[in-house]
Amino acid sequence: MKISCTNTMVPGGTLTEKAQNLRRCGFDGISVFEEITDWTPKKEEELLTLEARTGVRVCEFCFSGADYGQLMSPDPAVAARSKAIYRRAIEVCNQLGAVSEMEYQYAPRTPVPLLDPYLKMEREEQKRFQAIYAELAGELEGSALLLLEPINRYESPYLNCIEDNAEIVEEVGLPGTGLLFDTFHMSIEQADLCAAFERFAPLIRHVHLGDNNRLLPGKGCLPWKKMFATMGKAGYNGYVNLECAILGDRVLDQLEEEAAFLKSFV
């Protein structure tokens, strides 16, 4: 296993500065999330040469934007713009050999769902979503991955639990597909975090780390020693990437402490 951190959590005016800071803190990789409307050829060149210049690998790349996470929108124009965002991210990942992800939906739900967990979409809607996933995954090249990420019920109406996502991955069955396991989302949706990982380990190809309160691992109550032991026993050897919040000052000091915390388990 190698440890990584999301660029939005790291101080620095450029991706290069962020990667250099992560290197000094003890991280192996960086996960990059960028607003698509702010993306430029200059930024892309910086991204594509980042590992050669800093020694920090770009293990994950995604674009954000107003239409991100709206692949299943009833408005065809919105759905088309959303697909274009994912497609552009895949083009970048093909050059990097990096992970990108997709979800049924990614936006706060209104009203907040309180008593309707684990909704399953109708079969026809599932077939439509699978067709979109297969279409986008068909554009992957080399070692790039497009993974389904189970998202908690407060941000997506469907595909909240890992079982439903695994069903789609297995039915699509294309190279470069699989699951992204996010410990924060799964702490909400799975009865047993470690059992869920162990059961679906053959499909899990990337991991996001956040404690149950979405703070740094160790700042909440998830069983990190057991979690890492489960990943190790399952033979997981990919990246574990911080995607969470950091409270207070001394951000770089906290990241350095967190890198040491994670490496004590790895």
pLDDT of residue 98: 98
Counting the structural domains of the chain, the total is 1
**What pTM did the predictor assign?**
0.96
- Supply the range of the domain harboring residue 257: 2-265
CATH number of domain containing 74: 3.20.20.150
| Mean per-residue pLDDT pooled into runs of 10, the chain (266 residues) | 98 98 98 97 98 98 95 96 97 98 90 89 96 98 98 95 97 97 97 98 98 97 98 97 96 98 96
How many CB atoms within 10 Å of residue 243? Answer: 22
In sequence order, which residues have a C-beta less than 8 Å from that of residue 250 and are 6 or more positions away?
Answer: none
How would you classify the pairing of strands 204-209 and 2-6?
unpaired
The residue with tokens 């890992």 is 162
| Bridge partners for 204 per DSSP | 179
